[in-house]
Structure 1
Amino acid sequence: MKVKKTKRIIIYTMCFLVPLAIATCYFIYRRFAPFGNSSILTVDMGQQYIDFFAHYRDTLLHNPNGFIYSFANALGGGMIGTWSYYLMSPLNLLILLFPLAKMPSAIAIISLLKYGLSGLSFGYFLIQSKKYISWSIVGFATAYALMGWMIANQFNTLWIDAAIILPIIFLGFQKLLRDQSSVLYVVALTAMFIINYYMGWMIAMFLTAYMVIYGIARAYPVEISAYGHIIFKWIKASVLSAMLSAWLLIPTFFSLLAGKTHYTRNQFQIRFEYNPLDMLGKFFNGSVDFKQLPSGTANIFVGSIVVVLFIYYFFIPTIKKNIRFANLGLTAFMIFSMVFQPLDLLWHGWQLPVWYTFRFSYLFSFLMIITAFSAFLHILSEGLDYKRFLITLGLIILGVAYVGLFKKHFEYLKADNFIWGSVFLVISIGVIIACAIYKKSLLLSVAVFAVMAGEMGLNMVTSLNNLDYLKSSDYTTYAQMLRKEVNQVKKRDKGFYRIGTTFARTKNDAFTADYNGGSIFSSTLEADTSQFFKHIGQPNGDSFVLYSNGTMFTDSLLGMKYYMNQQIPENNPNKKRQKEPVPALTRKPDLNSYELLSQDKLIGTYQNPYALPLGFLTPKSGMNNDKIASDPIEYQNELAHRLDPNIKRLYEPTTYSHIQYNNIYKISKLNNAILKKNMMELSYIILTIPVQKDTSYYMTLGTNFNKGQISISVDGQNQTQFTPSERTIIANIGNEQIDGNINVQIFVNASSTLLHDFRLYKVHNSKIAKFSNDMKKNPYKITQWNERSMTGTVNVKSNQQALTTTIPYSKGWHAKVDGKAVTPKKWENMFLYVPMTKGHHTVKLSFWPEGLTTGIILGLIGWALIGFEFYRTRRKKQALPTQAADSTDKPSSK
């Protein structure tokens, strides 16, 4: 018994260490931090998640309120939805051990541990479920830990915990099906819902499909008469898991209602997304590349041994037919889900994914591997049915032939990878046959492990070598530089304000440097925020907003009190041009009207004298508006007038005094003009625009600018502009201190292009100053504030005024005026305002996520039910000895 226990511990250890060692060797080979200056930062890991990890660190170490709300989330937003989707992995606690400068190293170490833990979890499941211990288990655990889904989603680290917890959930699920304790199932499923509700939903879908299909096939491991009891027990355990995690799930649900649910656009279509046979290419190594990430087929690579055994399983005669049919039905359902759009939509919570398609495919890989292992055990105990095995090989050869004949169709599949896949397939078949002959040979058990680990390691190398990564210093240098500048501003000003920038590494820079910003890239973005940014001429989308095109008016309104601007380095012909550590986002001549506070070689920091406080008084009549101007300049004009009736019109149209053509056909007007080249040479027009001092100049640009058909420079400087955007955007082209001219050069990059929504406008700085001064006359003077609460005073001079804020409206915000609750309202379908009466008032605004109280109550009820069940079970156990004693004391009937 002691020897068996020692062997089990060794196998568990190897299930953890082998995938960890393979992944670590690859990280060392690629010089990922901490093994070099490269990193695993690519795609969303580099553009999104790492900034959230910085916020995670700041929240747990310095500012716990960041779990609930943050003004770094665009203009401000609830954070529970962000945490429940991105940040709840227990392994993230390791981030706290590293300084910000070592964040890429921390993420790499966490990723490596997740590979190891996935292998350990799966190995534990196999040993506990099958009561079998050998080195071959390490091979199957490695196949699971390094399956194609894991490799393709290495940088989506927020999902990888699902691979760790899934085997434990399924082990608890099997116990439940045998009418044993449901404790493991409840604990593991609850943990999954808390760590990542999105993956938890998919696992719940998989278990439901299993229950239905196996129930129809009458394949539960209990008597048919007990089916109703088992189903009820499963439902009760699943509901209990939902209740225990309700404190997070319910607020997240309301967060999704305000965000992603608004973006579903006619996605339900009865159609197949691709030919199911196209999935066969993903069973060869190296099937991951950048083209496959946004729109490829499901990542289901599991290695040759698993594929052969999986197919053979359905031909094994000694396995009960109803069990084989149930497994076949579940397999068919999973394959159908990966090609039929309505089912694909269901798996993803009725929201087709943007990039990273078929995110649930790890469940199919899990099914394949456990099915293959069952076939492997049958072979060890019974040998091979060679007739049926030949049928299996025939099907596999047809699959290989299909991929080989149509290899050009599989763009990601390189010839070397196809050859290596075929070689491993032949070796795998040989090893399986040898296992059938020699059965429980230690040498063959090690051979199974070695072949599986070798093929999975090869797939990791050939797949991840197709991707490019950021240098570790690309993040750390920028993060340290930005945080240093922000900290200097914070030392100068302890109040509430927002900070704008003319540069950006990502849209989530505010989280990395811990400041109140105006941009965000998050799957939990509120739809109202995205719409408001579109109305004011800022780049926006379903999951991002970017405050890159602020005008002097929006800077003022939104309280952008400080601005950081990238400095243009001096040209030095003796030095090799280096990559800019501060990536330019836009040009902002308006900074000429702001006060320069400090500057160094990289950044200049400016103070905006026109920035408004977070709250101010405006006419109540200006709070109601049902009409939205289609043009962003006109929208800002109307908005300024509603807030300050003294402002009749901020922006005025302006025009050019001269136009010069170079290889372009002449046009009669600019707006919506069709620009046509008459040569293949460089083609452009130059507009000369007269400008007045102390006046800001803007141009609007239609969405065709996003497509690269035109490019623009102003006085020889490139008009840097983020793309894409859903609507017309505004670009700042001038703000001069003296009268003169600016020259706008429009380059045409296509034979013919539409100059869509191209207009020129100006606004006098005096009008911005008047608007700012009018709003500042009656400010909301904040005396105390944190991320989710603020208290201040306001002097209301008329019952027709309202306390207007630029806090994004949410039902989670609550207001108290002089200690009495007042219901906040929404203005401009975006921000919060509080109806007021005349007089001097103290106003407290506080945020408590919608649904959090209900979730906590449900969780407490869940714990009460657990306590009651524990008490009832204990009483039963205590009653058994008493009943036994009573029956012993009874007199004999003789």
Structure 2
Amino acid sequence: MQKVRSYFKEHYPLLLSFWGPLLLMLGYFIFRKMYPFGTSSILTVDMGQQYVDFFQFFRRTLLTDPSNFFYSFSKAIGGEMLGEWAYYLCSPFNLLILLFPGKSIMAGIIVITLCKYACAGYCFGRLLLKRKIQTGILVPTFSTAYAFMGWAVANQLNLLWLDVLVFLPLIILGLLDLMDTNRGYAYTFWLAALLFINYYMAYMVCLFLILFFAWYALTSFTDVKKLGKQVGLFVHRSLLAAGLAAFLLIPTFISLKASKGQYTTQTIHFKWEYFPPKMLTKLVLGAFDFKQMPSGYPNIFVGSLVLFAFLLFFFNRRFKLSSRLAALALTGFLLVSMCFEPLDLMWHGFQFPVWYPYRFSFLLSFWMVFLAAQAFNSPTSSPKWWQIWGCFFIEAGILGYSYTVMKKVSYLNRTVLIFSALFAVATLLLLSIKPTKTKNLRNLCLYLLVLGELVANVCFSLNNISYLTAKEYSNPSQALTQDAQSVHKLDNSFYRTGQTYSRTRNDGLALNFNSGSYFSSALEKAIPDFYGQIGNPDGDNYVSYSNGTLISDSLLDMKYFFNQKDSSELEHKSADLNLAALTEKQDLNLYRLVKDNVYSRIYQNPYASGIGYLAGPSLKSLPSLYDDPVTYQTNWLNAVTNTWPTTKYFTAKNFNEVVFQNTSQTINLTGATLKRKKANADAQVIFKFVPQTNNSYYLTLGTGLNSDNVSLFIGNRPLSYYSTFRHTTIVNIANHAKGQEIVITARFKKQTLSLNNFVLYELNNPLVISKLKQVQAHSWQLKQFNNRKLSGTITVPNKNQLFTTTIPYSQGWQAKVDGKAVKTFKVQGIFLALNLPKGKHTVSLSYWPPYFNLGLALSILSLILIFIPTLLKRFLKQN
């Protein structure tokens, strides 16, 4: 027991720095009844729609299928994965996920979140102790303020970013030691680790390191020679860090050129993004809610003590005037960066963030806590009376300004302003106490007060956020898992699988099937471009294969479909597992039912062509065509069957009757803009038609018909379709419905409604099926396959045919025909293809990340440059 007491007395600052944040956040998770402590979950926004699926993918790759590491066909229609690992999955904390299978992964995410908060506090405490900036109870005071900064709380749902809070203090500690001792590689290794774990956050840290180094070099300046040596060491060790991570950074950079790099902002506006004083509202408690996610102000909350001590740093004469002025310049640069567009873009790699603006604001918070801890490290630290009053009036100004804009800012209310004022006043009262005999008691009270304020900020902020219930995650996951396992038992060949219900766009990634949908910040631009042409929803970072036709289903090898049962079929089985429909899919009437599961059915598409097939040479020159998916798919099938552009498959049809209610009328529907007659009354248009055949019928919907503008119904139920899209989509509304009246109702959500590209089409099913059978007859017969290697045979009956796949083109794919390497090329702006001579051939494809070998060589060289000099010195000393 005595040893335990002695250990705690010696190490309690770091113990509290670790366990304080962990236990405080654990208490909040229990309070919110998050799984496993209740019926809620930690999943919200991207955590629920994206990251949890990546964690499932992480488990599967490490435990069962390492071929996923470089490439995966669960990424939309296929894509490289090294860049995804570099952005999402390289955190060492993710290894904890291996301990949490199935729905328990929600608990695993909570464990990882708690560990990152705890390690952030510990590492900052280590920086304070090692640099002798703080001692005693003030170490966990500032460490907890750092771990619980407003940026961390607001971005808790972006769990992959929180690693930067763990590694930044270690990087700074390594840099400071390097500058003081001129030796050591701790800085290099910690920076390399962050570059490996998350290059995006590391990029921001690298920019900050330049500023931080300039400040510290000026602070410690004695002569030019010393400064030159410091600059040389800083550049040398930084380049070595980049070299150590080059094996991942270089192929990731190549990947980014095809994905995020395609969206780099070309025009920069020299303007203020908002009125800068609005940033002050982020210094009060609870300055976060859902509205701050897509667009908002930088998250810079650090608590009253840190704010006041930070301000007092600039008046503390213990620090050289040059140091304080340089610190003021650095602070000003960071503040301007958070409201001036060119600098904001620079910090984000010259791309405006999609949601979560000002992602680099953690750097200002770190800087504030770092300076605050230095300003408050004197044994006799006690601000003068005029400094106390100065801080009081500054806080009063912040709260006063926040009160004046309270009605315009969603997260502000009287309660948070009152509590902010109470904590600020209490902090100033404690700071005004002379730290003589009462110093330890005062500092303990400051610690407890800081904990209280930080917990209050967590509660006010996160109580503004709603989370998925545990069942909202586990129920659809349970159904999809059953479907995925069933289809794997039915068929062990290569194929893609469509869905008429889903949990997220990354279901396939999470549950090991090739779904055709995907959501990622590193999605190659060619994929959403292609989806936009075939009438499926797309965005800069997502695609959804929810709007397939008989043609696209078959040419993309969508061999199976998961289809939800409706609620009436589930009443005797599970009333609480009602799977929401993602899309209309009346073409399932053409497909064969192969499995009837508890919550869903699985259908097989008998016309799926396989992942590779022969095509006519005209496919090489197939033109891009947006907002006309019918023509594009017609041209695509004709080019594949060598009949382009002669054969017609779709026929535009008229509605039998159109009823206008409280809206202007028109004869020509397509392209018309309808207006409400009575502004406050409901308005709708009813479209009726009776199919004359059992063919497939489709509606094309222009962007004016998304869910922001209209509610669509089929019969007396909502029309199931993906409700957000930026190009014209196509919806399958009838099949085998000859003689049955189909009624489509469009209810206005605004005063006007645009019917752009609103057309009803009938597909000539017998003709299309005959063409698809031709494609099947000359398809690639795979003998071996995984995510990196595919090999099979194909017979070419005639000359002037090309072999095309529906694998997205990449430099990483290498092709061999009958054992000999051949060149590949791109068709349709996306797909991998190659030329084949007449006859039967074995075609093999293998994938290796472009420039991975170069990056690996640079990493090995960097290791040699680090260790060889050290080994030589030891050898020379021994001899």
> By the TM > 0.5 criterion, same fold?
yes
Asked whether the 8 Å contact 2:521–2:541 carries over to 1, the reply is: yes
Would you say the 8 A contact 2:533–2:632 is kept in 1? Answer: yes
Contact in 2 for aligned 1:177/1:222 (Cα 8 Å)? no
How far is 1:778 from its partner? Answer: 1.6
1:63 paired residue number? 65
Q: What is the distance in 2 between the residues matched to 1:211 and 1:49?
A: 34
What does residue 703 of structure 1 align with?
A: 703
Change in 2 beyond 3 A, CA 1:711/1:353: same
Q: Following the alignment from structure 1 to structure 2, what is the Cα–Cα distance between the partners of residues 3 and 743? A: 77
| Equivalence map 1:591-630=2 (5 Å) | 591-628=588-625, 630=627
1:369-421 deviation line (CA, Å, top 9, x unaligned): 0101111113x346444444544444343333333344334331121111111
Secondary structure in 2 aligned to 1:187?
helix
Q: In 1, are the aligned partners of 2:309 and 2:375 still within 8 Å (CA)? A: yes
Residue 883 of structure 1: aligned partner: none
SS in 1 for 2:521: coil
Alignment of structure 1 residues 511-660 onto 2, 5 Å: 511-570=509-568, 581-628=578-625, 630-646=627-643, 648-660=647-659
Instruction: State the AA in 1 paired with 2:796.
Output: V
Q: Which residue of 1 aligns with 2:338?
A: 338
Q: Does 2:691 match 1:694?
A: no
- Tell me the distance in 2 between the aligned counterparts of 1:645 and 1:852: 39
Q: CA deviation at 1:721?
A: 1.6
Partner Cα distance (1:564, 1:577) in 2: 18
What amino acid is aligned across from residue 782 of structure 2 in structure 1?
I
Distance in 2 between the 1:383 and 1:37 partners? 48
Query: Which residue of structure 2 aligns with residue 853 of structure 1?
Result: 853
Task: Note the alpha carbon deviations across 1:692-729, whole angstroms, 9 max, x for none.
Answer: 43311111111011253323223334211212211111
How far off is 1:267 after superposition? 5.3
**Partners of 2:814 and 2:569 in 1: how far apart?**
54
**Is the CA contact 2:265–2:352 (under 8 Å) kept in the aligned structure 1?**
no
AA partner of residue 866 (structure 1): I
Provide the C-alpha distance between the structure 1 equivalents of 2:387 and 2:800, rounded to a whole number of angstroms: 85
Q: Distance in 2 between matches of 1:7 and 1:249?
A: 44
Which 10-residue stretch deviates more, 477-486 or 686-695? 686-695
Which residue in the other structure is 1:229 paired with?
Answer: 229
Q: Does the Cα contact within 8 Å between 2:705 and 2:754 map onto a contact in 1?
A: no
Q: Mind listing any 5+ residue stretches in structure 2 that lack a counterpart?
A: none
User: Is the CA contact 2:532–2:627 (under 8 Å) kept in the aligned structure 1?
Assistant: no
Q: Deviations over 1:121-149 (max 9, x none)?
A: 11111001126420111111110111101
1:416 paired with 2:418, answer no
Aligned to 1:74: 76
CA distance 1:736–1:239, change in 2 (3 Å): same
Task: Give, in angstroms, the shift of residue 486 of structure 1.
Answer: 1.0
Distance 1:182 1:205, change over 3 A: farther
Match of 1:317 in 2: 317
Partner letter of residue 338 of structure 1? M
Query: How many Å apart are 1:877 and its aligned residue?
Result: 4.3
Identify the residue that residue 892 of structure 1 maps to in structure 2. none
Q: CA deviation at 1:281?
A: 1.2
Alpha carbons 2:94, 2:112 under 8 Å: kept: yes
Partner of 1:570, secondary structure, is helix
CA separation in 2, counterparts of 1:878 and 1:220?
A: 36
Whichever residue aligns with residue 660 of structure 1, its letter is: V
Aligned residue for 1:425? 424
Deviation at 1:807, TM superposition (A): 0.5
- Structure 2 contact 392–425 (Cα < 8 Å) conserved: no
SS in 2 for 1:727: coil
Q: How does 1:748-759 map to 2 (within 5 A)?
A: 748-759=748-759
Distance (whole Å) between structure 2 residues aligned to residue 411 and residue 131 of structure 1: 38
Give how far 1:582 is off. Answer: 1.6
Aligned residue identity for 1:767:
L
For residues 706-764 of structure 1, give each alpha carbon's deviation from its aligned partner in whole angstroms, at most 9, with x where no partner exists: 25332322333421121221111111111116444423333333333221111111112
Pick which of 667-676 and 33-42 moved more.
Answer: 667-676
CA distance in 1, matches of 2:665, 2:338: 53
Displacement of 1:559: 0.3
- 1:706–1:725 contact (8 Å) kept in structure 2: yes
CA shift, 1:864, in A, is 1.4
**CA shift in 2, pair 1:670/1:404, >3 Å:** closer
Partner residue, 2:499: 501
| TM-score (ref. length: structure 2) | 0.96
Instruction: Find the aligned partners of 2:873 and 2:854 in 1 and give their Cα distance.
Output: 29
Seen in structure 2, the aligned counterparts of structure 1 residues 551 and 265 have a Cα distance that, compared at 3 Å, is: farther
Question: Cα–Cα, structure 1 residues 869 and 851, in superposed 2: closer, same or farther, change >3 Å?
Answer: same
Instruction: Tell me what 1:772 maps to.
Output: 772
Q: Secondary structure of the equivalent of 1:438?
A: coil
The amino acid that maps onto 1:430 is L
In the TM superposition, residue 364 of structure 1 has moved relative to its aligned partner by 0.6
SS in 2 for 1:586: coil
Deviation, structure 1 residue 524: 0.3
Would you say 1:154 and 2:153 are equivalent positions? no
The match for 2:56 among 37, 54, 57 is: 54
Deviates more, 1:817-826 or 1:1-10: 1-10
C-alpha displacement of 1:233: 0.7
Kept in 2, the 8 Å contact 1:316–1:385? The answer is no
Of the three residues 462, 469, 488, the one matched with 1:471 is 469
Matched letter for residue 596 of structure 1? L
Q: TM-score, normalised by structure 1?
A: 0.94
Q: Are the aligned partners of 1:18 and 1:142 in contact in 2 as well (CA < 8 Å)?
A: yes
Let me know the Cα RMSD of the aligned residues: 2.2
Q: Is the 8 A contact 1:702 1:729 kept in 2?
A: yes
Counterparts of 1:691 and 1:409, CA distance in 2: 53
**What residue is the counterpart of 1:886 in the other structure?**
none
Moved more, 761-770 or 247-256: 761-770
2:25 counterpart residue number? 23
Cα distance between partner residues in 1 of 2:5 and 2:39: 45
What letter is aligned with 1:556? S
Q: Aligned pair in 2 of structure 1 residues 863, 458: CA closer, same or farther (>3 Å)?
A: same
Cα gap change, 1:581 to 1:255, in 2 (>3 Å): farther
Is the Cα contact below 8 Å between 1:569 and 1:601 reproduced in 2? no
Residue 676 of structure 2: aligned partner: 677
DSSP 3-state at the match of 1:377: coil
Letter in 2 for 1:659: V
Q: Provide structure 1 residue ranges, at least 5 long, that are not aligned to the other structure.
A: 880-894
Q: Distance in 1 between matches of 2:580 and 2:852?
A: 40
Query: How far is 1:690 from its partner?
Result: 3.2
Q: Residue 625 of structure 1: CA displacement?
A: 2.8
Number of paired residues?
A: 874
Q: Which residue of 1 aligns with 2:786?
A: 786
Q: 1:817, 1:843 within 8 Å by CA — same for their partners in 2? A: yes
Question: 1:689 offset after TM fit, Å?
Answer: 2.1
Q: Shift in Å at residue 576 of structure 1?
A: 14
Counterpart CA distance in 2 for 1:396 and 1:752 is 48
Counterpart Cα distance in 1 of 2:685 and 2:381? 81
What is aligned with 1:885?
A: none
Going from structure 1 to structure 2, the CA distance change for 1:578 and 1:466 (only over 3 Å counts) comes to farther
Deviations 1:168-211 (A, max 9, x none): 00000101221333311011101101110001001101001223
CA distance in 2, matches of 1:681, 1:576: 42
Does the Cα contact within 8 Å between 1:548 and 1:722 map onto a contact in 2? yes
Mark the CA change 1:70 to 1:382 in structure 2 (over 3 Å): closer, same or farther: closer
How far apart in 2 are the matches of 1:5 and 1:662? 79
The answer as to whether partners of 2:789 and 2:844 remain within 8 angstroms in 1 is: yes
- Give 1:399's aligned residue: 398
Deviations 1:447-498 (A, max 9, x none): 1211111111111111101100001121122212211111111111000000
1:228 maps to amino acid: G
> Which residue in the other structure is 2:93 paired with?
91
- Structure 2 residue identity aligned to 1:754: S
1:288 aligns with 2:251: no
Instruction: Give the direction of change, closer, same or farther, for the CA distance of 1:305–1:333 in structure 2 (3 Å limit).
Output: same
1:370–1:579 Cα change, 3 Å: same
Structure 2 residue 801 is the aligned partner of structure 1 residue 801:
yes
